[in-house]
Amino acid sequence: MNALAATSRNFRQAARLLGLDSKLEKSLLIPFREIKVECTIPKDDGTLASFVGFRVQHDNARGPMKGGIRYHPEVDPDEVNALAQLMTWKTAVAAVPYGGAKGGIGCSPDELSRSELERLTRVFTQKIHDLIGTHTDIPAPDMGTNAQTMAWIFDEYSKFHGHSPAVVTGKPIDLGGSLGRDAATGRGVLYATEALLAEYGKSISGSTFVIQGFGNVGSWAAQLIHEKGGKVIALGDVTGSIRNKAGLDIPALMKHRNEGGHMKNFHGGEVIDSSELLVHECDVLIPCALGGVLNRENAPDVKAKFVIEAANHPTDPEADEILTKKGVIVLPDIYANSGGVVVSYFEWVQNIQGFMWDEEKVNMELHKYMNSAFQHLKAMCKLHDCNLRMGAFTLGVNRVARATLLRGWEA
């Protein structure tokens, strides 16, 4: 089942639990707007290259649409559609005043030079600039993009619309980015994991962790868990996977990575086959890379007691069923990785106010938002006698449905 079919299935299940009217259910599922553009750029060698870019704007009942832009070879319209829909439910779960959107360009960022990436980002922005904006749709980083990508979008957009820092979040601090945004998704993962473990009388410091992905989300999650005394015993990225039963030295691994080293050349760990990573013995498994990595093939062998979905849609529905039957507790993406969009919201607010918060305030507010969402999520689980994923979906879908009904249907 692809990501869109799986996300829509979860939505329909939540709509049924909530007893939503069928017309409303249908209208909430259909995206507001789907944009597909061709982006042709001159490569550094003088040849031309074309890439397809997408932006799906799913829903704006609760506010401007919000969501990241992904650069990855596997970007396709159905996946972007699913990720945009997830953003609608995620912003509602987090109680930030946004709808949902997502974008992507089918490309391999590692195979493009910095100037090719800049040209591609600027051409994409030229093609979508009149459909995004501070009060319509606000992009942010996702896989394969970063603060520099956001700086180019902000600059290109501002050529058409005047100085507009709040059109994107996740910007460099020097251009109006928020302190704490770079770490925010990983920090939110830490706060969400702490809240979940506490329900079971456990804590970060007494637990072992396996993390897939060592990019923005994975590396921050690993560092913050390590700082809190958690033992990260295995970790992997595209270049390979390693383990150390005594706990990996995460600051040393960060240094190794920042100096251009590959995972498998890190001396503080033993190389393992990447297929072993997700089924490695541990208390808590945190996928922080691609979607669909937990599936019917590997789910029966998962040994973790808790899965924290830091990636978007890492667990396909078949794996979800298998894990539930095995008694594995899965903390769903639309709550677990919402720290990124929460601090994006703080960045947008700061840009509009023209006032910068200190990092302590950002982290304190993030903690409040994550804890409050967890309490509301738990209440929905109790009300509908459902698991955490359905608790999060019913919470998000109900808030969007209420906003839609309050705004009214009459033309």
Ligand X SMILES: O=C(O)CCC(=O)C(=O)O
Ligand Y SMILES: NC(=O)C1=CN([C@@H]2O[C@H](COP(=O)(O)OP(=O)(O)OC[C@H]3O[C@@H](n4cnc5c(N)ncnc54)[C@H](OP(=O)(O)O)[C@@H]3O)[C@@H](O)[C@H]2O)C=CC1
Q: Which residues bind ligand X (CB under 6 A)?
A: 66-68, 90, 140, 142, 169-170, 312, 337, 340-341, 344
Residue for token pair 């360009």 = 105
Residue 22: both structure tokens together: 């069928």
The answer to whether 264 and 271 have CB atoms below 8 angstroms apart is yes
Interface characters, 172-211, with ligand Y (x: CB under 6 A): -------------x--------------------------
Which one of ligand X, ligand Y, none is in contact with 216 (Cβ closer than 5 to 8 A by kind)?
Answer: ligand Y
Q: How many CA atoms lie within 13 A of 214 on its CB side?
A: 25
Tell me which stretch binds ligand Y (CB under 6 A): 194-202, 306-314, 364-372, 387-395: 306-314
The answer to whether 78 and 3 have CB atoms below 8 angstroms apart is yes
Which one of ligand Y, ligand X, none is in contact with 66 (Cβ closer than 5 to 8 A by kind)?
Answer: ligand X
The answer to whether 282 and 234 have CB atoms below 8 angstroms apart is yes
For residue 93, the tally of other CB atoms under 10 A from its CB is 26
Residue nearer to ligand Y on the CB measure, 10 or 185 = 185
> Looking at beta carbons, which residue is closest to ligand X?
68
One of 239, 295, 371, 387 touching ligand Y (CB under 6 A)? 239
One of 64, 104, 106, 144 touching ligand Y (CB under 6 A)? 144
Name which of 78, 83, 82 is nearest 67 in CA terms.
Answer: 83
Cα 131 from Cα 276, distance rounded (Å): 44
Binding residues for ligand Y, rule CB under 6 A, total 24
Sheet holding 284-287, edge to edge: 270-272, 240-243, 231-237, 208-212, 284-287, 306-308, 329-331
Give least dist CB 207 to ligand X, A: 25
Largest Cα–Cα separation, the chain: 65
**H-state helical runs in 95-201:** 114-128, 147-161, 181-199
Give least dist CB 90 to ligand X, A: 6
Residue nearer to ligand Y on the CB measure, 110 or 385 = 110
Residue nearer to ligand X on the CB measure, 70 or 367 = 70
Give least dist CB 363 to ligand X, A: 16
Name which of 144, 89, 143 is nearest 112 in CA terms.
Answer: 144
The answer to whether 318 and 295 have CB atoms below 8 angstroms apart is yes
Which one of ligand Y, ligand X, none is in contact with 193 (Cβ closer than 5 to 8 A by kind)?
Answer: none
10 binds ligand Y (CB under 6 A): no
Residue nearer to ligand Y on the CB measure, 132 or 192 = 192
Give least dist CB 390 to ligand X, A: 20
213 binds ligand Y (CB under 6 A): yes
26 as an active site residue: the answer is no
81 binds ligand Y (CB under 6 A): no
Q: Which of 102, 171, 202, 361 is catalytic?
A: 102
Give residues with Cβ within 8 angstroms of 145, minimum separation 6.
68, 69, 70, 71, 109
Residue nearer to ligand Y on the CB measure, 4 or 17 = 4
Residue for token pair 């650069």 = 71
Give least dist CB 219 to ligand Y, A: 7
Catalytic residues: 102
Contact residues toward ligand Y (CB under 6 A) are 141-144, 185, 212-218, 236-239, 288-290, 310-312, 337, 340
